[in-house]
A and B are shown apart, each in its own frame.
Chain A
């Protein structure tokens, strides 16, 4: 009986082999695996890299090397001269398949004809991931709506019919009507001057569009996809498209993630999302004087399925105001991670935080990140008028394990918030207090004195319970990053 047991693993393998359980595909000679990989669209080929270690780097060799072309033209006079040499080298490469074609250059180095030549070459090589970047072209259109004469332009549809990913920066983008690019899934436009109508035409041409990112596209006034549809959209990012006053997205049942940074506007987005909407980033882009009309922040308490939320202090102000009219409590019952971007930490800001946590209870919250403002002056004001202050929430942080406060300076309201966390979050395991970066003139680096005096630190440590570890760290620490680690503004 003992012998039978020892032999079992080998028998198992052999039985499996007999039943056809062998991994035949990984045993094929590389040349054959490469042939199979060359028959896949780029996205599927990239995924094979995660199958097992034997597949990790194979897909990158499916075309004769190099399968990706990255042209970089550095700034300055040497760059312009080198540009022509690089273009000639590309011509010599000949027309063969390319996976990624990436071109980055500076204003004045390439002409419109050069740009067209590159784009046409990439298209002829069946490019699937096209990246075009121009720095210094001033295409954000901060002033006026007219395209500058001589601004370099790209016309959509661009690249090959196999295009899956398009990233354009700093150029002007025009678009034909009634185009169809059935494979295009990811579009990132950064500082691109594009009109409302052209954007609609681009979205209409891409029924498989999953990920749309619009940053600093300052010619847009109304982002309106009602007539063109965006049925497959999973992720939408709009950053500082500062002239946009409206965002209309019809039913987006598959939308998972929405990130918005910039002056708040009106949108019907939230009414069209479904159960898969999990992830929201809402930031006004900076401290503002007025509060323009918007319906975005007030929708937050009703997003019952979100798991990750980043919200700024301006949005919290709106939410506070809207909560005054809500009679019963709402429940962000799936929220696991919350990040607060505080432009100010005055008494009213702290009150907004408390009122948010009280009314939209987050019983499952596990991680809390707070970006505090960098002002060196403590904005706490003593309450001389005996007006009732916002009370701390009684409960709701039972599951909080991790908290991190960045730019922590020990100011009064910061300490009050800290106190609240230490007393109410009974399961808190780790609390990170990250010191602010210090801006020294002309990059002088001096030995950084502790922003927090030792006595303050001791005070904090005393308040913590036995199970909580408090970590004081410098500004460059990379502990515990939130999901929304990219914050689109500077603090």
Chain B
């Protein structure tokens, strides 16, 4: 192969990627004492955990007193799936000057298919009961996993969208503590939004 700059960079980046991808496993301990293992790569999707690893606090396992086991396993599942996706994206991006068109098309098809898989995975992950959904939100917030937090918040927003005030109260068990006059005043302030 001619030593083109692209080749050189791709081979070197591959080498770098290969080198960085350590198989080190991190132990995460849920609030109820269960231990879970995740690759360092997946665990680092949580900015909170990433900082703890970098600060050297992760050697004996990371206790997560705010996250119950059921939720932690879902979070780890999310991180595993999305870390793999991020890795693949990096690999494809690293070969922009690849002259082999067929290879490129295959890569594109694969990433399109993977995107679909990821979307349906995400959708099924948040298709859970309300309590679990809020637990996921709180866990993703605590662990600073932006993608998961955005995903779960979007699901809640979708449940609120286009529903009447009464319907939203019922779905989320919100108690109406307004007096009749107060509620009328609120509705009047922006009447256009409340008109049916």
Interface residues of A (CB under 8 A from B): 20-26, 28-29, 32, 35-37, 39-44, 46-53, 55-56, 165, 185-186, 210-211, 234-235
The listed residue (B131, B178, B192) touching A20 by CB distance below 8 A is B131
B80 at the interface (CB under 8 A from A): no
- Chain B 122-178 interface residues, beta-carbon cutoff 8 Å to A: 129-131, 134, 137-138, 141, 149, 153-154, 156-157, 160-165, 168-169, 172-178
Q: Known: A46-B193, A47-B194. Is A40-B161 also a contact (CB below 8 A)?
A: yes
Does B196 sit at the interface, judged by CB under 8 A? yes
List of A residues within 8 angstroms of B129 by Cβ:
20
Task: State A235–B154 Cα separation when bound (angstroms).
Answer: 32
29 contacts between A and B (CB under 8 A): A21-B173, A23-B173, A25-B134, A25-B174, A26-B172, A26-B174, A28-B134, A28-B138, A29-B141, A32-B141, A32-B149, A36-B153, A37-B157, A43-B193, A44-B163, A47-B164, A49-B189, A50-B194, A51-B169, A52-B169, A52-B174, A52-B175, A53-B177, A53-B178, A53-B182, A55-B174, A210-B195, A211-B195, A234-B196
The 9 tightest CB contacts between A and B, nearest first, are A39-B157, A46-B193, A24-B134, A25-B172, A43-B193, A23-B173, A50-B186, A46-B190, A50-B165
In the complex with contacts A35-B149, A51-B169, A210-B195, A28-B174 CB distance below 8 A: no
> Smallest distance from the beta carbon of B163 to chain A beta carbons, Å?
8
Q: How many residues of chain B are within 8 Å of chain A by beta carbon?
A: 38
Residue among B129, B156, B162, B183 with most chain A CB within 10 A = B156
Known A36-B157, A41-B161, A51-B165; judge A56-B186 contact (CB<8 A).
yes
Inside 8 A of B168's CB, which chain A residues have their CB? 47-48, 51
Contact A42 B157 (CB under 8 A): no
B160, B161, B165, B175 interface centre (most CB from chain A within 10 Å): B160
Give the distance in Å from the alpha carbon of A32 to the alpha carbon of B149 in the complex. 9
B88 to chain A, nearest CB (A): 28
Do residues A22 and B173 form an inter-chain contact, with CB atoms below 8 A?
yes
| B51 located at the interface, meaning its Cβ lies under 8 Å from any Cβ of chain A in the complex | no
Whether the pair B194, A23 counts as a contact (CB closer than 8 A) is no
Which B residues are CB-close (under 8 A) to A165?
192
Complex-state Cα separation, A55 to B149, whole angstroms: 21
Question: Looking at the complex, which one of B131, B172, B186 makes contact with A49 (CB distance below 8 Å)?
Answer: B186
Closest residue of chain B to A234 (Cβ to Cβ) is: B195
Q: How far is the CB of B1 from chain A (nearest CB, A)?
A: 46
Q: A28-B137, A28-B138, A46-B193 are in contact. List 17 more A-B contacts (CB 8 A).
A: A20-B131, A23-B174, A23-B175, A26-B174, A28-B134, A32-B137, A32-B149, A35-B153, A40-B160, A49-B190, A50-B187, A52-B178, A55-B174, A56-B186, A185-B192, A186-B192, A234-B196
Chain B residues contacting A50 (CB-CB under 8 Å) are: 165, 178, 183, 186-187, 194
CB contact under 8 A between A24 and B131, given known A50-B187, A51-B169, A211-B195: yes
Q: What's the minimum C-beta distance from A285 to chain B, rounded to whole angstroms?
A: 25
User: Is there contact, CB below 8 Å, between A40 and B192?
Assistant: no
Chain A residue contacts of B183, Cβ below 8 A: 50
Q: Is the interface of B mostly helix, strand, loop or mixed?
A: helix
Contact (A36, B195) CB under 8 Å given A20-B129, A21-B173, A41-B161: no
- Bound Cα distance A32, B169 (Å): 18
Q: Is the CB of A47 within 8 A of B165?
A: yes
* A211 CA / B195 CA spacing, docked (Å): 9
How far is the CB of B160 from the nearest CB of chain A, in Å?
Answer: 6
Indicate which residue in B163, B187, B192 contacts A211 across the interface (CB closer than 8 Å).
B192
The residue of chain A having its C-beta at the shortest distance from the C-beta of B194 within the complex is A47
Determine the distance from Cα of A378 to Cα of B137 in the docked complex, in whole angstroms.
73
0/1 per residue, B13-34, Cβ < 8 Å to A? 0000000000000000000000
Q: Report the minimal beta-carbon distance from B169 to chain A, rounded to whole angstroms.
A: 6
Residues on A with C-beta less than 8 A from B164 are 47
Report the bound CA distance from A40 to B158 in whole Å. 8
- Most interface-central of A46, A51, A211 (chain B CB within 10 A): A51
B residues in contact with A28, CB < 8 Å: 134, 137-138
The docked-state distance in angstroms from the alpha carbon of A52 to that of B177 is 6
Option from B156, B176, B182, B189 in Cβ contact (under 8 Å) with A51? B176
Contacts of A40 in B (CB 8 A): 157, 160-161
- In the assembled complex, the CB of B36 is this many whole angstroms from the nearest CB of chain A, namely 24
Known A-B contacts A47-B194, A56-B186; A25 and B177 likewise in contact (beta carbons under 8 Å): no
Residues of A within 8 A of B163 (CB): 44
Residues of B near A49 (CB, < 8 A) are 186, 189-190
Q: With the chains together, A28 CA to B141 CA distance in Å?
A: 11
- B160 near A48 with CB under 8 A, answer yes
Contacts of A52 in B (CB 8 A): 169, 174-178
CB neighbours of A47 from chain B (8 A): 164-165, 168, 193-194
Cα A242 to Cα B190 in complex, Å, equals 30
Please name all residues of chain B whose beta carbon is closer than 8 Å to the beta carbon of A24 when the two chains form the complex: 130-131, 134, 172-173
For the complex, give the distance between the alpha carbons of A427 and B193 in Å.
37
Contacts of B193 in A (CB 8 A): 42-43, 46-47
Nearest Cβ in chain B — how far from A286, in angstroms?
A: 28
- CB-CB < 8 A to B137: which residues of A? 28, 32
Query: Cα distance A372–B187 when bound, in Å?
Result: 32
Least distance between A17 CB and chain B CB atoms (Å): 10
Q: A29: which B residues are within 8 A, CB to CB? A: 141
Contacts of B134 in A (CB 8 A): 24-25, 28
Residues on A with beta carbons closer than 8 Å to the beta carbon of B195: 210-211, 234-235
Which residues in A have their C-beta under 8 angstroms from that of B174? Answer: 23, 25-26, 51-52, 55
